[in-house]
Amino acid sequence: MPSAENLIKRFSGMKTLPHVAIRLSKLISNESTTAQQFEDVIKLDPTLVLRLLRVANSSYYGLQKKVESISRAIVFIGMKNLRNMVVTTSLKDIFKKGQNEDLFSREKLWLHCAAVGICAKMIAERIFGKTGEDFYLCGILHDIGLIVEDHTVNDLLIEMCKAYMPGGGPITEYEQEVIGTNHSEIGYLLTKEWGLPVEVQEGIRFHHDIGKEYDPSGLIGIIQMSEYIVSQMNYVAIPNLKALLAQNLKNYMRENIAEFKALMNDFPDEMEKAKELYESDKKGKG
């Protein structure tokens, strides 16, 4: 059976995260990085410059005066939002419709990942008062390992989907049995290779680990709760897939049910706002 490392090697030959996104992530993690260094990297991608200015001038930010410089646009958007925009845009091509959509849908997986990212950002900001950009990034990438499996061992992935039984344990257990590895481990190793934040790597690695008690305010806990919520709203890529949740996280959600209900009521509007932020180049705003 193939190992996670082997699948990543085969996948990297086909698709990888753009160099601009990787360089931006490294600059963000370095506290001594200057604004000029950010601007120098962004200038390497004319399409990114255009998107950056369009987003900064979109109704999402509601600025009265038009932004025309990269440096001012970065101030309004923020580097982590810019990084997330680059990652989100680059991933969409990988998630384009594939075969066997009735058993494993790339399009539905994209919606699932986007929903988890947005929900995680909402929980982080609204319930725990944290900055939500890294939570969004982890959410949008948490199932990237499934795409790697789809691109490299599609026959085994489809076999796994056919074998999956709701309530029979985490999907990672089925992957381990059929494929020999699982998407959480693949995603962890891939994002480690990309040099993304360690917390994001760990959130991806353990988002199906329901055997431990994770801090509800931590990245792993928030990603688990987000996946549980959006799965209940039927944002799933595999028919009848049920997201499982660690018991202490279930207890936390029950104890704070009013906050989570309010969040779920606002979720559709937040999805629409995210489309404007991450897809404004298609709308041609500016």
CB atoms closer than 10 angstroms to residue 273 = 12
- pLDDT tens digits for range 8-46: 988 876 656 777 878 888 888 787 888 888 888 888 888
Report, as an integer, the average pLDDT of 122-137: 95
Whole-number Cα distances in Å, 92 to 15, 110, 164, 232? 12, 7, 26, 24
Confidence of residue 281 (pLDDT cuts 50, 70, 90): very low
- pLDDT tens digits for range 78-111: 888 888 888 887 787 778 766 667 889 888 898 8
140 vs 211: CA distance, rounded Å: 23
Report, as an integer, the average pLDDT of 134-140: 95
- pLDDT tens digits for range 191-240: 998 888 899 999 999 999 999 999 999 999 999 999 999 998 989 888 88
| Residues 263 and 121: beta-carbon distance below 8 Å | no
Residue 282 in this model has a pLDDT that exceeds 50: no
**For the whole model, what pTM was predicted?**
0.86
Residue 165 in this model has a pLDDT that exceeds 60: yes
Confidence of residue 276 (pLDDT cuts 50, 70, 90): low
Measured in Å, how far apart are the chain's first and last C-alpha atoms?
51
Domains of the chain as residue ranges with CATH = 4-283 (1.10.3210.10)
Please report the pLDDT score of residue 63 as a whole number: 79
Q: What is the mean pLDDT of the chain?
A: 87
Q: Between residues 55 and 157, which one has the greater pLDDT?
A: 157
Please report the pLDDT score of residue 285 as a whole number: 38
